[in-house]
Amino acid sequence: MQLRTGELPLLRTLVQQLAGVHLDDSKGYLIESRLGPIAQRIGCANFNELYFKLRYDADPKLAQEVVDAITTHETNWFRDGAPFDAFQFKVAPESFDARGRLGTPKKLRIWSAACSTGQEPYGIAMVLCDMIPDIATWDVQILGTDISKSSLETAEKGVYSTHDVGRTQRPQAMQKYFDQTPEGARVKPAVRKLVTFRQLNLMDSLTGIGPFDIVFLRNVLIYFDQATKLKLLQRVRSTLMPHGWLFVGSTENLNDAGPEWVPQTHCRAIVYQPNLPVRV
Ligand SMILES: C[S@@+](CC[C@H](N)C(=O)[O-])C[C@H]1O[C@@H](n2cnc3c(N)ncnc32)[C@H](O)[C@@H]1O
């Protein structure tokens, strides 16, 4: 199905309202390739009809299907490598130290916002299992959230194809933390126990989320326009503890986010901390 004159702005506004995702003029092909099949299946003759169905039929299932289709869920195990080294050798140890100073040693709260199909939060859990052999006795929780229901269903199942598990920067971890089953490679219970998933649209209120020691907000900011990105960063900041850390994707940066974030380079990855006011 092809977009007709005037349909791109309609669908663009709707997608922005549903998911915060900004589709510029060059992204018409995404609407055609991802939403066209949905429109055809439900009997719409054109995108205008799909727009009016979404806007006025109040069909949450259809809205969810559109969100799942228009968002990009590309991810892989230990994506980009370096951030997971920085997490293992700098960010996690320092976070545990900070927790010790606060009188809550062995406690850590991590948020993988926009976790897609689960590889990121499970990867974080695998690193922690490597670092702390008796982690089951520690109070460590990793929350994975995403707007996409279908991605979260895959994440919760925790079963991946051999091809998917092969796309990794840490092959040793893959051998150690999966059980082979007829369905595919299943994340081991010790890793799964550390991770919980829940659906969350990052455009919605973050009240009740956190506080976190570490937030992974990777490869999702790129889909938002500048104003949406800056507002989100402010809200994410309010979920972080004062000693907290923020990871963004390696093609993303907070250069335009003002002085609120302090960049640091560890293990060739850039990680951010909130810029705290200096007191005398
Ligand atoms: C490219 S994936 C990134 C996955 C993982 N963080 C990584 O870096 O590999 C982007 C994810 O952001 C999610 N997403 C897009 N808009 C969102 C929103 N408004 N709220 C929550 N998640 C969103 C998508 O559903 C998708 O799973």
Does one domain contain both 185 and 266? yes
C-alpha 190/C-alpha 48 separation (Å) is 49
Residue indicated by tokens 């929780």: 141
Question: Is residue 77 a part of any domain in this protein?
Answer: no
- With H, G, I as helix, E, B as strand and everything else as coil, classify residue 5: coil
Q: What is the CATH number of the domain that holds 18?
A: 1.10.155
Ligand 1 atom with minimal separation from the 19 CA: 19
Examine the domain organization and report whether 152 and 254 are in the same domain: yes
Name the residue range of residue 31's domain: 7-70
pLDDT tens digits, 242-269: 999 999 999 998 999 988 999 999 999 9
Count of domains in the chain? Answer: 2
Q: What is the mean pLDDT of residues 175-195?
A: 97
Tell whether 1 is covered by a domain. Answer: no
Kindly state if the Cβ of 16 falls inside 6 Å of ligand 1: no
Q: Both 95 and 199 in a single domain? A: yes
**Taking CA 244 as the corner, what is the angle to CA 106 and CA 72, rounded to the nearest 5 degrees?**
105
Residue 153 and residue 174 share a domain: yes
For residue 166, pLDDT beyond 80: yes
Give the closest residue to 110 by CA, choosing from 152, 101, 99.
99
CB of 146 shorter than 6 A to ligand 1 = yes
In a domain, 106, yes or no: yes
Query: Is 241 close to ligand 1, i.e. is its CB under 6 Å away?
Result: no
pLDDT grade for 238, boundaries at 50, 70 and 90: very high
- Confidence band (pLDDT; 50, 70, 90) for 230? very high
48 located within any domain: yes
> What CATH number is given to the structural domain containing 176?
3.40.50.150
Same domain, 237 and 103: yes
User: Where among 17, 47, 70 does a domain terminate?
Assistant: 70
Q: What is the DSSP letter of 77?
A: B
Is 64 among the domain residues? yes
Question: DSSP readout, 92-132?
Answer: HHHHHHHHHHTT-TTEEEEEEES-TTTHHHHHHHHHHHHH-
Looking at the structure, do residues 95 and 164 belong to the same domain, yes or no? yes
Å from CA of 271 to ligand 1 middle: 19
H or E segment and range at residue 216: strand 212-217
In this prediction the pTM is 0.97
User: Is 76 domain-assigned?
Assistant: no
Nearest CA to ligand 1 atom 7: 75
Q: What is the pLDDT of residue 276?
A: 83
Statement to judge: residues 134 and 87 lie in one domain: yes
Radius of gyration of the chain (CA): 20
* 232 in a structural domain: yes
Query: Per residue in 119-164, pLDDT tens?
Result: 999 999 999 999 999 999 999 999 999 999 999 999 999 999 999 9
Residue 71: CB within 6 Å of ligand 1? Answer: yes
Q: Given 70, 103, 123, which residue is the final one in a domain?
A: 70
pLDDT tens digits, 62-71: 999 999 999 9
Task: State how far the Cα of 137 lies from the Cα of 67, in Å rounded to an integer.
Answer: 39
Q: Are residues 63 and 88 in the same domain?
A: no
Q: Do 214 and 175 sit in the same domain of this protein?
A: yes
21 Cα–ligand 1 center, Å: 10
Q: Do 138 and 103 fall into the same domain?
A: yes
Together in a domain, 108 and 50: no
Indicate if 163 and 247 belong to the same structural domain: yes
| Closest to 73 in 3D by CA, of 19, 109, 127, 137 | 19
Question: Whole-number mean pLDDT of the chain?
Answer: 96
Distance between CA 50 and CA 234 in Å, rounded?
Answer: 34
